[in-house]
Amino acid sequence: MTGTRARFEAMWADLHPVGRSPVTAGYRRFAWSEADLTCREWFVGEAVRRGLDVTVDRNGNQWAWWGDPDGGGAVATGSHLDSVPDGGAFDGPLGVVSALAAVDLLRDRDVRPVRPLALVNFTDEEGARFGVPCAGSRLMTGDLDPDRARSLRDADGTTMAEAMSAAGHDPAHLGRGEEDLGRLGAFVELHVEQGRALVDRFAAVGVARGIRAHGRWRLDLYGQANHAGTTRLADRDDPMLRLAAAVLAARESADRHAALATIGKVNVEPGGTNAIPSLVRAWLDARGDDEAAVRAVVAAVGAAGAAEPVEESWSPEVTFGRPLRDRIAGLLGGAPVLSTGAGHDAGVLSGAGLPAAMLFVRNPTGVSHSPAEHADIDDCLAGVEALATVLADLLTGQS
């Protein structure tokens, strides 16, 4: 594995500084930003170095091909390179770097694919800039309307269409990629685990059972701007009080419905220390074992905040298909099978009917969406080995 270790660490070292905050050590690789474009250029360089043909689909997703893209039943693997604000180094990039390292390993072992292999960097998986997660894969599957996507705005008011155009990608052709989907026979995504299941099982690699239902809603809480020092309490219409009620309701209803609810992003207007806000805009991230539980939490939060939650994205519960999952678990000697509450492009593709699976790599603390996110190099190499084993089987075995 020394060759793999050296190659993995060299790629990791190249990516490591891109979009990393010197203050927090977290990453800010937002879709179509300078940091994201640098990551995209890095991906192309690594692919070209391996003689892979790089294409960009109508939705901006990058594909690096080993074999003829139209060879039929392609196996795809990869993940994303964008991040949440102050995200960790592994969420997304581990899947992309491992895919490249797995190609090297397959070639070391003289594996001769009978079907094409595509390495993919899905664009805008986190939805950190424009608010819709898995935007690149949702556009590809038709799960995200292209007109809605083009008009999504970031915090500065820049639309996704403007950001894409500025990055040199024409947004005019966004939409379901029949041809792109038609090329694929299966998708396998390797991802750092965002939890402690593998730690608790003393296992380096696991296989995904499925993804819990989850979505994002926006609460617009309007109030009456006024002076903090002269407005009597009885005369106030302060939306902050409704935000407080909504946050407490989120925790209470999530607990009651065995769900998870987070309000991690709040915008206050006008944002003056000595002014009662005119508007408090808050985003709810709710997740649960089924849709009913999630929607019960959303309803409770809306009632507490006295505002109708505006749904910005919805991801139904995903159960990855047993044939591919069992084939992979078998290849990996009965690796633990785990469910997750984190969304992934593999879930979007599975929901669109493509056989999809995920491999998880042990995260010693389980912490993610944080600069503290980590995976030990030996576990990363175990992930590459596992991915190469799975790809060798899928690329040479019976489809």
Contact between 133 and ligand HGY (CB under 6 A)?
yes
Of 165 and 339, which CB lies nearer to ligand HGY in the complex structure? 339
Burial string for 356-395 (b: 16+ CB within 10 Å, else e) reads bbbbbbbbeebebbbbebbbeeebbbbbbbbbbbbbbbbb
Pairwise CA distance, residues 342 & 183, whole Å: 27
Contact between 351 and ligand HGY (CB under 6 A)?
no
Contact between 143 and ligand HGY (CB under 6 A)?
no
The listed partner (Mn ion, ligand HGY, none) that binds 154, CB under 5 to 8 Å by sort, is: none
The listed partner (Mn ion, ligand HGY, none) that binds 343, CB under 5 to 8 Å by sort, is: ligand HGY
Whole-Å CA distances, 312 to 67, 127, 216, 280: 38, 11, 5, 17
Tell me if 239 sits within 8 A of 280, measured CB to CB. Answer: yes
| φ, ψ at 135 (rounded to 5°) | -60, -40
Give me the least distance between CB of 340 and ligand HGY, in Å please.
Answer: 8
Determine which residue in the list 60, 92, 215, 302 makes contact with Mn ion, applying CB under 5 A.
92
Contact between 91 and Mn ion (CB under 5 A)?
yes
The listed partner (Mn ion, ligand HGY, none) that binds 92, CB under 5 to 8 Å by sort, is: Mn ion
Of 82 and 379, which CB lies nearer to ligand HGY in the complex structure? 82
Place of tokens 């469910």: 339
**Largest distance between two CA atoms of the chain:** 78
Contact between 95 and ligand HGY (CB under 6 A)?
no
The listed partner (ligand HGY, Mn ion, none) that binds 117, CB under 5 to 8 Å by sort, is: none
Contact between 343 and ligand HGY (CB under 6 A)?
yes
Of 133 and 305, which CB lies nearer to ligand HGY in the complex structure? 133
Contact between 215 and ligand HGY (CB under 6 A)?
no
Q: Which residues contact 355 (CB under 8 A, 6 or more apart)?
A: 185, 186, 187, 321, 323, 324
Stretch that binds ligand HGY, among 55-63, 125-133, 260-268, 379-387 (CB under 6 A): 125-133
Give me the least distance between CB of 175 and Mn ion, in Å please.
Answer: 24
One-letter amino acid of 254: A
- Count CB-CB contacts under 10 A for residue 172: 12
| Percent helix, percent strand, percent coil in the chain, to nearest 5 | 40, 25, 40
Binding residues for ligand HGY (CB under 6 A): 125-126, 133, 342-343
